[in-house]
Structure 1
Amino acid sequence: MLLAPHEFLPRAEATLARLEGAVLEALSHHDGPSVESLAEAFPKDAPLSPEGLAQALCPGPLSPIGFAAVVMREVLPPVDALLDGPVSEARVVTGNARAPGALSVTCPLVVLGDLEVEGVLEDCGPDSTIVVVGRCTAWGLKTSGNFLVLGDLVVRDAIQGIYNDDSLVVAGDLSTRFLDEYDHDVTCYGEVHAEHHFKNGRSGEEAASLASTFLVPELWNLDLGALHHDDLFERIQRGEPVFTATPQPRQVREPDEPSAEELEGLDIEGIAVRAPVSARAKDVVYAQRKTGEVWLLRPGGFPVQIFDGQRFLEEGATLALDVKQRASERVTFWRRRGDLFLEMERFGAVVQLHAGYNNGSKRTFRFAFETPDAAVRELRRLEARYAGDFLRVTALVPGRGPLEREFANYGGPKAEYTSAIVKGTALITRGGEPQHFDDEAAALSALEDWIAGRRQAGFDLKILEWRPFGLLGA
């Protein structure tokens, strides 16, 4: 059936005069509904199919397409539909619609009756716009586009809003167990019934802490300050539990900076004054009371200064030692709190120590010993020194992500960069094909050969990071 403008627009005029209450408020959320906005969608007064009208009004504010849906409901005969697959082309269901499983919507979808989804409903803004004139129900809702419900919205488990460009607008009541507005505009003109409600603008750290009281532990991470929304909705779709059986004590992330107990008895002011470069007591990022060790690191590029309890360590690059061969052994530590790392390499009788900040500044220290055995003893001493405060890692920083090593060569006409990670039993390098091995140990051994080859080509370690940002991570 085609919608002729000379019939459709007069009906819209009459409908607009009758609109009131929450429905009118919801339709006016982006702008007031108007007949003119509908008239502009008809090219040269030619008729349009319902899908053609929806396509002409989307993407855009909710008012025109929502108003058009109300008018279409009055003029089109209701025909129910089964949505048994993704909606990838504009569609108008003139009656009720039911999806027997998860429903993915990547284009305009208008339902003039009720929409029932027996699974997770996910849209894809800005390409998608969903309008439900009646009632909408689902197990879960993940929305990043414009979504308008003129009846009630009832979501069994969880609603998540993503991105701040579009809106979820409900004229009736909104009911769900967990509503996470995240950074999305969520507006309800009825009543909101949510057992757990995270408002727009909440921080990731706060969300993870609050979620620890009611979501299963696999769905939140205090170190990352994040909720694992993808896992949340995958679990909902599979029918697996996402909520704890009983309320749990709230978990709070330990602060990155040293605690008062860790600083007790340390003369931080005096240590900062003795630093080789201008340092301040407030630059302290790590302290160990039992050894008197203090790390000073100023945000914005201040290189880490390490006071080992007696003196500040000197930059090791001045020792001009050959460390381009394959390392005899490697030990990598990551701070349990914050983003500090230590990587210790032994090259025969030489120990090389890298210390720095995730995806930030790094310094390298080198120590030469009379024999390889003496270097081994020093490495064991360092391992014992940092055990407890730091986590020993190989390919993955627990709870955070893959460990990526980036190398740089500044010797040519322009800087060159490369990086590598070990993922499972594979060695993956930037610009190269993944190499697969029988086990992780073999992949880590291949990583050592790769590092030696890079150093022989003039590269040296630039940074370690646990959340890859570069080309390899992408």
Structure 2
Amino acid sequence: MNLNRDTFLPKAEATLAELDGAVLEAISHHGGPGVESLAQVFKDGVSRSPAQLAEALCPGPLTDIGFAAVVMRGLLEPRDEVLDSPVSEATVITGNARASGSLNITSPFVVLGNLEVEGVLEDCGPDSTVVVVGNCVARGLRTSGNFLVLGDLVVRDVIQGIYNDDSLVVAGDLSVRFLDENDHDVSCYGEVHAEHHFENGRSGEEAASLASVFLLPGLYDVDLGEIHHDQIFEHLERNEPVFAETPQPRQRREPDRPTAEELEGIDVAGTVARSPVSATPRDVVYAQRKTGEVWLLRPGVFRVHIYDGEKFLGTEPSPALEATKASERVTFWRKRGDLFLEIERFDAIVQVHAGYNNGTKTTLRFAFDGPDAAAREVRRLEARYEGDFLRVTTGIPGRGPLERELARYGGKSEYTSAIVKGTTLVTRDGESQRFDDEASALRALEDWLAEKRRAGFELKILEWKPYGLLK
């Protein structure tokens, strides 16, 4: 049945006069409803199908499409439907809708009855707008778009809000085990029944810490301050558990700065006083009690300065580095403070880069009597930092691929970078090469680095890419 001005607008007038209570409040969440706004859809006098009407009102505030959905419910004959594919074009179902698995929505979608999804329900704002006039039931809900439920919203396990552009609005009651609003607008005009409720604006660090009590290990990272929502919903789609059977001890992220225990026995005041830069005890970002080593760093003011327990390194002239291809390389990462340490050997010279993610670094070079002595120094440094730092190759546990970024300054800044993930070498120069194994890819990376060194590039920073290969 098509909708036309002569039947739709009078019905809208009558419906508006009857709207009250929580339904009116929910429809008015983005502004008060009015017949004039709906009349604009029919200003050319042409009839519209229900789907065309929904498409004409979206994207936009929930007010008009929500009001139009209630009007359509009074005009259209209910017809139930089973959904067995994603909703990729504007759709209006006049009765109840049911999906036996998960349901992905990328276009305006209106259900004039109830919506039941046995798996995960996910929309895609701003392309999607979802309106359910009745009740909505699902195993999990991920919403980044405008989503309006004029009945009750019942989600068995998890609701995740994504982005702060749109809203999840419920006129009835909202029931779920874990509600993570994140920065999304979630508004319920009934009662909220949530065993775990993280409200809008929650910090990542606090959320991950609280989640460690009830989520299964691996679905959060306290050090990074992240809840791994992608993995949570992958579990839900496979109908696998995401909640611990019993509450677990709460985990808290260790502070970036050294703890009192790590500083015990270290003469911090004396070390700071001997520093080549004007530093304070608050600039201590790493300390090693067994050796007395201290790192001083104040981002934006000075780079890392390393006191090895006896002296500050780098005060003597550095040997020239003639080779461009490293004989060996060891990379360490410390989650606390995002510090990294990369140790390279170029025959009889050991080069050490120390810095922090997406920031500055310090480079130190030391000459030895021969390659064997230099190799022994690399082993010594490995043993010194093992345990305090994570040893990484091409990936940082819980973070993603490790990128080596280089810079050259010659009148104009120039940057390039490369990473290896699996058996693929990808560079920001547009190069992508696959190899038979990771070892071959790593050898190709060494060749690439050597070529860039010959061209005058030097390591700028080390950083991690949590979202995959370079684009």
Shorter-chain TM-score category?
Answer: over 0.9
The 1:35/1:167 distance shift into structure 2, 3 A limit, reads same
| 2:404 equivalent in structure 1 | 405
| 2:363 equivalent in structure 1 | 364
8 Å CA contact 2:318–2:364 kept in 1: the answer is: no
| 2:208 equivalent in structure 1 | 208
| 1:285 equivalent in structure 2 | 285
- Deviation for aligned residue 1:317: 7.5
The 1:472/1:455 distance shift into structure 2, 3 A limit, reads farther
| 2:438 equivalent in structure 1 | 440
Instruction: Detail structure 1 runs of 4+ shifted over 6 Å in the superposition.
Output: none
2:309 match: secondary structure = coil
- Deviation for aligned residue 1:402: 0.9
What is the distance in 1 between the residues matched to 2:252 and 2:465?
Answer: 22
Q: Could you give the per-residue CA deviations for residues 317-365 of structure 1, whole angstroms, max 9, x where no partner exists?
A: 85323132x2121111112423111111111111111100011101100
The letter of the residue matching 1:417 is Y
Structure 1, 137-146 or 217-226: larger mean CA deviation: 217-226
The letter of the residue matching 1:358 is N
- Asked if 1:23 corresponds to 2:20, the answer is no
| 2:276 equivalent in structure 1 | 276
- Deviation for aligned residue 1:316: 7.6
| 1:302 equivalent in structure 2 | 302
The letter of the residue matching 2:447 is D
- Deviation for aligned residue 1:277: 2.1
Alignment of 1:307-318 (within 5 A): 307-314=307-314, 318=318
Alignment of 1:249-260 (within 5 A): 249-260=249-260
8 Å CA contact 1:177–1:196 kept in 2: the answer is: yes
The 1:328/1:423 distance shift into structure 2, 3 A limit, reads same
Q: Could you give the per-residue CA deviations for residues 194-250 of structure 1, whole angstroms, max 9, x where no partner exists?
A: 111111111111111111111111211112211111111121111122112222111
- Deviation for aligned residue 1:433: 3.4
8 Å CA contact 1:223–1:400 kept in 2: the answer is: no
2:444 match: secondary structure = helix
Q: Could you give the per-residue CA deviations for residues 227-279 of structure 1, whole angstroms, max 9, x where no partner exists?
A: 11111112111112211222211111111110011112323233223222222
Unaligned runs of 5+ in 1: none
- Deviation for aligned residue 1:368: 0.7
The letter of the residue matching 1:473 is L
The 1:87/1:9 distance shift into structure 2, 3 A limit, reads same
Which of 442, 455, 460 is the equivalent residue of 1:462? 460
C-alpha RMSD over aligned residues: 1.8
What is the distance in 1 between the residues matched to 2:66 and 2:430?
Answer: 51
- Asked if 1:451 corresponds to 2:444, the answer is no
Q: Could you give the per-residue CA deviations for residues 404-459 of structure 1, whole angstroms, max 9, x where no partner exists?
A: 11112224x42322211121122222224333333323322222222222212221
8 Å CA contact 1:301–1:361 kept in 2: the answer is: no
- Deviation for aligned residue 1:176: 1.1
- Deviation for aligned residue 1:135: 0.8
What is the distance in 1 between the residues matched to 2:457 and 2:406?
Answer: 6
- Asked if 1:422 corresponds to 2:416, the answer is no
- Deviation for aligned residue 1:41: 2.2
What is the distance in 2 between the residues matched to 1:416 and 1:316?
Answer: 29
| 2:34 equivalent in structure 1 | 34
8 Å CA contact 2:135–2:151 kept in 1: the answer is: yes
What is the distance in 2 between the residues matched to 1:321 and 1:256?
Answer: 33
2:262 match: secondary structure = helix
- Asked if 1:56 corresponds to 2:56, the answer is yes
What is the distance in 2 between the residues matched to 1:117 and 1:60?
Answer: 25
How many residues of Structure 1 are paired with residues of Structure 2 in the alignment?
471
| 2:89 equivalent in structure 1 | 89
What is the distance in 1 between the residues matched to 2:259 and 2:316?
Answer: 30
Alignment of 1:326-337 (within 5 A): 326-337=325-336
Identity of aligned residues (%): 72
The letter of the residue matching 1:418 is T
- Deviation for aligned residue 1:145: 0.6
Alignment of 1:228-239 (within 5 A): 228-239=228-239
The letter of the residue matching 2:407 is A
1:77 match: secondary structure = coil
- Deviation for aligned residue 1:468: 6.6
Structure 1, 215-224 or 146-155: larger mean CA deviation: 215-224
The letter of the residue matching 1:94 is T
| 1:138 equivalent in structure 2 | 138
| 2:179 equivalent in structure 1 | 179
| 1:473 equivalent in structure 2 | 470
8 Å CA contact 1:223–1:399 kept in 2: the answer is: no
Unaligned runs of 5+ in 2: none
8 Å CA contact 1:70–1:133 kept in 2: the answer is: yes
| 2:107 equivalent in structure 1 | 107
8 Å CA contact 1:430–1:472 kept in 2: the answer is: no
- Deviation for aligned residue 1:111: 0.7
8 Å CA contact 1:142–1:159 kept in 2: the answer is: yes
- Asked if 1:196 corresponds to 2:196, the answer is yes
